[in-house]
Amino acid sequence: MAAGFLEIIKREWLLAVRRKGDVLSLLVFFVIVVSLFPFGVGPELETLREIASGVVWVAALLATMLSLSRLFANDYADGALEQLLLMPQPPALIVLAKITAHWLLTGLPLALVAPLLGLQYGLSGAPLLVMSAAIAIGSPALSAIGAIGAALTLGLRGGGVLLSLLVLPLFVPILIFGAGTVDAAVHGSPYSAHLLLLAACSIAALVLAPLASAAALRIAIE
């Protein structure tokens, strides 16, 4: 099972290397959205510090949304998804591997880039590290919850719009806890509780989402 899990992640990485533009477009979108806000809001550092957490997290959420529709769609279109589900590994484990690969290609790069963008908002020191940690801890929940929506809308006409309507309400708690973590760090308040809540959301999503997504994929294929 472990070998199959790693092979699927390796496969996703190889496909991502062949389609480097998809990964780069997400990072470019994230950088552009975060970088435009200081021009619109103005140079007041206090104002920028106040909005930094919300802007970065909303941009990260939107960047993640852009890639969710392709999570299963390409494999569904060329028939590879049916072959993956016929593997001896449980379908939920296969979905978990794809979620893990999605996080490695989207959530982790966003977490690494976020501190550099936080400098535009006058952040320094601990808030930048907390911002990176919060995105790294909370983004697995975004990938896992998004996988459910991607599986439910697989093969549907206008599935991208429906996917957004399904998952955005479920993303709200992650957005609140994530932005609250950075905001607490900016004001010098304790932020460990927010990080623990983000971790709990990610763990719960990673446990439940593969099961729900696997069931939805079976329905879509049948």
Reported as a single tens digit per residue, the pLDDT across 83-94 is 877 777 888 888
Per the CB < 8 A criterion, the answer to whether 62 and 143 are in contact is no
Spell out the residues 6+ positions from residue 86 whose beta carbon is closer than 8 angstroms to its own: none
pTM of the entire predicted model: 0.88
Q: Give me the number of domains the chain comprises.
A: 1
Residue numbers of the domain that contains 172: 2-221
pLDDT at 200 over 90: yes
- For position 158, what pLDDT does the model report? 65
The 3-state secondary structure of the chain reads: CHHHHHHHHHHHHHHHHHCHHHHHHHHHHHHHHHHHHHHHHCCCHHHHHHHHHHHHHHHHHHHHHHHHCHHHHHHHHHCHHHHHHCCCCCHHHHHHHHHHHHHHHHHHHHHHHHHHHHHHHCCCCHHHHHHHHHHHHHHHHHHHHHHHHHHHCCCCCCHHHHHHHHHHHHHHHHHHHHHHHHHHHHCCCCCHHHHHHHHHHHHHHHHHHHHHHHHHHHHHHC
Reported as a single tens digit per residue, the pLDDT across 24-54 is 888 899 999 888 888 887 778 888 888 888 8
Q: How confident is the model at residue 216 (pLDDT cuts 50, 70, 90)?
A: confident
Reported as a single tens digit per residue, the pLDDT across 91-119 is 888 889 899 988 998 889 999 998 888 88
Q: How confident is the model at residue 159 (pLDDT cuts 50, 70, 90)?
A: low
